[in-house]
Amino acid sequence: MSSRNVTLAGADPERAVLRVLIVPHAGAGGASGQPFAAHAPDDWLVATARLPGRESRVRETGRDLDALTADVTATIRDLPGTAPLLVLGVCSGAVIALEALRRSGSAGVAGLVVVSQWAVNEKPDPGRRLLRDVDPGRDRAEVLDILRDFGGVPDALAANEEMLGLLLPAIVADIRAVEDYVCEPFDPGVPLLTVFGDEDELCSEERTDDWSLFGPHTRTVWLPGHHLLLVDEPEALATAVAENLDHWGLV
């Protein structure tokens, strides 16, 4: 597989006892999984998907949900190694990961981890503004307000005009791809673990309870923290996955 589509860290693919593919949150690239990898067990291979529109793929187009899903599906199929594979989707990345399993099946995947994403069987805020109705070039303030409703822009990034200018196009494209996503509950074919921050206002119990409808084997973990667990709490997130390997029969 092309190294442009994924970054690898941790154990050698052929010697790893577990493979984890991170599909990161809106606008994030392959580097976003490095802190998680640093806290994962040494015998895990941690791969982070690099989607179009960022890092070495910054000039690539094709950022709608169909294209992003196809991209992740290809990464799952081509990921090196033979150890059991967990797919870990974060916020918008969880929608892409879920859709990849819905469309292509769970062959080669042992489990799905959904991080910081409300249940997608219904829209939590049916009347909310959509990015597709806003021109990012003309009204950045409104764009940032909408993105905050998705937890898509850390305050430190919003305050850095130079970095924001570089990353905003990918963030906007990712959120546009999933902002009105809804699907009927279905069994993804693998046990589902959902992980949320206990101070995440976007993912309250009311918004997340319906993940239990997605298949007969679901489990939820609450961690101390806010919405961006992959960024702010990578050690706690890696530990949560390691402590729940029994959920997938991997211990």
C-alpha–C-alpha distance, residues 151 and 147, integer Å = 6
pLDDT at 35 over 60: yes
Mean pLDDT of 91-113: 96
Mean pLDDT of 171-199: 93
Q: Is residue 150 part of a domain?
A: no
C-alpha–C-alpha distance, residues 54 and 48, integer Å = 13
Q: Is residue 158 part of a domain?
A: no
Return the percentage of the chain with pLDDT > 70, whole number.
Answer: 93
- DSSP H helical ranges for the chain: 34-39, 65-78, 92-104, 140-148, 155-158, 161-178, 205-208, 229-232, 234-243
Q: What's the domain count of the chain?
A: 1
Mean pLDDT of 103-127: 91
Q: Is residue 200 part of a domain?
A: yes
C-alpha–C-alpha distance, residues 219 and 240, integer Å = 12
> Is residue 136 very low, low, confident or very high in pLDDT (cuts 50, 70, 90)?
low
Q: Is residue 144 part of a domain?
A: no
Please state, in angstroms and as integers, the Cα–Cα distance from residue 202 to each residue in 26, 88, 177, 214, following that order. 15, 19, 18, 20
Per-residue confidence (pLDDT) for residue 131, from 0 to 100: 76
- Maximum mean pLDDT: which of 149-153, 157-161, 200-204, 244-248: 244-248
C-alpha–C-alpha distance, residues 201 and 198, integer Å = 8
Per-residue confidence (pLDDT) for residue 156, from 0 to 100: 67
Q: Is residue 102 part of a domain?
A: yes
pLDDT at 146 over 90: no
Per-residue confidence (pLDDT) for residue 122, from 0 to 100: 87
- Maximum mean pLDDT: which of 121-130, 133-142, 154-163, 179-188: 179-188
Least confident interval from 153-167, 184-198, 219-233: 153-167
pLDDT at 52 over 90: no
Per-residue confidence (pLDDT) for residue 63, from 0 to 100: 82
Q: Is residue 7 part of a domain?
A: yes
Question: Is-contact 209 238, C-beta < 8 A?
Answer: no
> Is residue 207 very low, low, confident or very high in pLDDT (cuts 50, 70, 90)?
very high
We report the CATH number of the domain holding residue 227 as 3.40.50.1820
Per-residue confidence (pLDDT) for residue 40, from 0 to 100: 98
Q: Is residue 152 part of a domain?
A: no
pTM above 0.95, yes or no: no
Tokens of 136: 């990012």
Mean pLDDT of 153-181: 78
Q: Is residue 10 part of a domain?
A: yes
Per-residue confidence (pLDDT) for residue 244, from 0 to 100: 98
> Is residue 154 very low, low, confident or very high in pLDDT (cuts 50, 70, 90)?
low
Domain that includes residue 204, residue range: 3-122+183-248
pLDDT at 170 over 90: no
Per-residue confidence (pLDDT) for residue 158, from 0 to 100: 67
Indicate the average pLDDT of the chain.
90
